Amino acid sequence: MSNHPQETFKDSRYKVPNLERALVIMEHLLDFPKGRSITELTDDLELSKNSVFRITMTLLNHGFLVRDAQKRFSLSKKLLLMGCRSFGETRFIEFAMDIMRECRDEIKESIFIGSMIEHEGVVIEQVLGLHPFKFTIDPGLRLPINCAAPCKAILAYLPENEQKLILDEAPFERFNENTITSRRAYKKELETVRELGYALDRAEQIHGAHCIGAPVFDQYGYPIAAIWATGPSDRLPAVRFDEFGQIMRRYADMISVRMGHNAMDAAPIVEEG
């Protein structure tokens, strides 16, 4: 954490200190998927042990945290589910799952759906592939924007000002020789995504793993999510990228229609920065 509690919790009639401490604890736990104990949270955040205990137990009782056998606290999936519902009045995942299964049956590979949270992608749900060897990703896993096909698919259609804010903060970490590590190259990649209608991960994070994704739009033409297929490069080879890309776009469009999007009436939003 860049700010210690004593810097963050300044006196103000508009602030609720315990609520702010709870938010700081939850944000801190994002970096510790295996959890932190009360003592560790106390030391990490320089808060009183009594305060950390009361806050974590409250969050636990309301389902925002889970606790393992070693009494380590970690984030539950409750916030993720709340985020899914914030996409709109419709039940987004329920509208997507049967279409994702149809997509999986055609491609045979694992199909995922996810969105963006701040400057990262996040996996929301999955439908496992039909091959004996298949990819699986835990819901809630964060995805780097410079590698992940769903992040490219969403960012390519974001309003320019929103896209710029995200790219300005992106670390562009290198994972291997295929990783895009410059903003200029990445912006060209996003232009290509707009031209093709789908996005690719050409083993840019994990050697031997290819991903092909397409954006899902809401009724206003805003990219709220993406679906993508992940599989080994010999089953999703570069020579078939366009074939699979068109398939992914077709199924993504089916979900978009359920979300109220009409491609004829609501073109994707593009604002000047």
CATH number (domain holding residue 253) = 3.30.450.40
Which of 44, 76, 108 delimits the end of a domain? 76
Share of residues in the chain with pLDDT > 70 (%): 85
23 and 107 belong to one structural domain:
no
Q: How confident is the model at residue 89 (pLDDT cuts 50, 70, 90)?
A: very low
Residue 120: predicted pLDDT: 87
Q: Do 119 and 232 sit in the same domain of this protein?
A: yes
Instruction: State whether 124 and 209 are in the same domain.
Output: yes
Q: Which of 70-79, 118-127, 234-243, 261-270 is least confident?
A: 261-270
The reply to whether 267 falls in a domain is no
Both 190 and 240 in a single domain?
yes
Cα–Cα distance for residue pair 211/203, rounded to 1 Å: 8
Residue at a domain's end among 76, 106, 124: 76
Is the same domain home to 47 and 110?
A: no
Please check whether residue 134 lies inside any domain of the structure: yes
- Greater confidence, 84 or 129? 129
β pairing state of 142-143 and 209-217 = unpaired
Among 176, 214, 218, smallest CA distance to 86 is for: 218
Domain membership of residue 235 (yes or no) is: yes
Q: What is the pLDDT of residue 178?
A: 97
Total of domains in the chain: 2
Instruction: For residues 60 and 72, give the distance between their C-alpha atoms in angstroms, rounded to a whole number.
Output: 11
CATH number of the domain residue 44 falls in: 1.10.10.10
Q: Residue 268 pLDDT > 50, yes or no?
A: no
Task: Identify the pLDDT of residue 188.
Answer: 97
Q: What's the pLDDT band for 63 if we cut at 50, 70, 90?
A: confident
186 in the same domain as 127: yes
- Residue 175 falls inside a structural domain: yes
Write out the residue range of the structural domain in which residue 58 sits: 5-76
3-class secondary structure, 229: strand
DSSP H helical ranges for the chain: 5-8, 17-29, 38-45, 49-61, 78-85, 92-107, 149-155, 160-169, 183-196, 241-258
Residue 125 CB neighbours (<10 A):
18
Residue 71 and residue 88 in one domain: no
- The residue out of 76, 107, 139 marking a domain boundary is 76
Q: Does 188 reside within a domain?
A: yes
Which of 88-97, 211-220, 223-232 is the least confident region? Answer: 88-97
Contact status, residue 224 vs residue 115, Cβ threshold 8 Å: yes
Asked if 53 and 153 sit in the same domain, the reply is: no
pTM: 0.70
Mean pLDDT lowest for which of 8-17, 36-45, 171-180? 8-17
Q: What is the mean pLDDT of residues 178-183?
A: 96
Mean pLDDT, range 78-83, rounded to an integer? 66
pLDDT grade for 15, boundaries at 50, 70 and 90: confident
User: Pick from 95, 112, 96: which is nearest to 151 by CA?
Assistant: 112
| 62 and 143 housed in the same domain | no
pLDDT score, position 235: 97
Q: What is the pLDDT of residue 186?
A: 97
pLDDT at 248 over 60: yes
CA 142 to CA 215: how far, in whole Å? 17
* Together in a domain, 40 and 133: no
27 falls within a domain: yes
- Find the DSSP H helices in 170-218: 183-196
Are the C-beta atoms of residues 143 and 193 closer than 8 Å to each other?
A: no
The mean pLDDT of the chain is 87
- CB contact at 8 A, 102 and 251: yes
- The predicted structure's pLDDT at residue 77: 63
pLDDT at residue number 2: 41
Answer yes or no: is pLDDT of 40 > 60.
Answer: yes
Confidence of residue 95 (pLDDT cuts 50, 70, 90): confident
Instruction: Pick the most confident of 15-29, 107-121, 196-210, 217-231.
Output: 196-210
Residue 86 pLDDT greater than 60, yes or no: no
| 126 part of a folded domain | yes
Residue 174, in any domain of the structure: yes
91 with 209, same domain?
Answer: yes
User: Do 95 and 187 share a structural domain?
Assistant: yes
Q: Please provide residue 53's backbone torsions phi and psi, each rounded to the nearest 5 degrees.
A: -60, -50
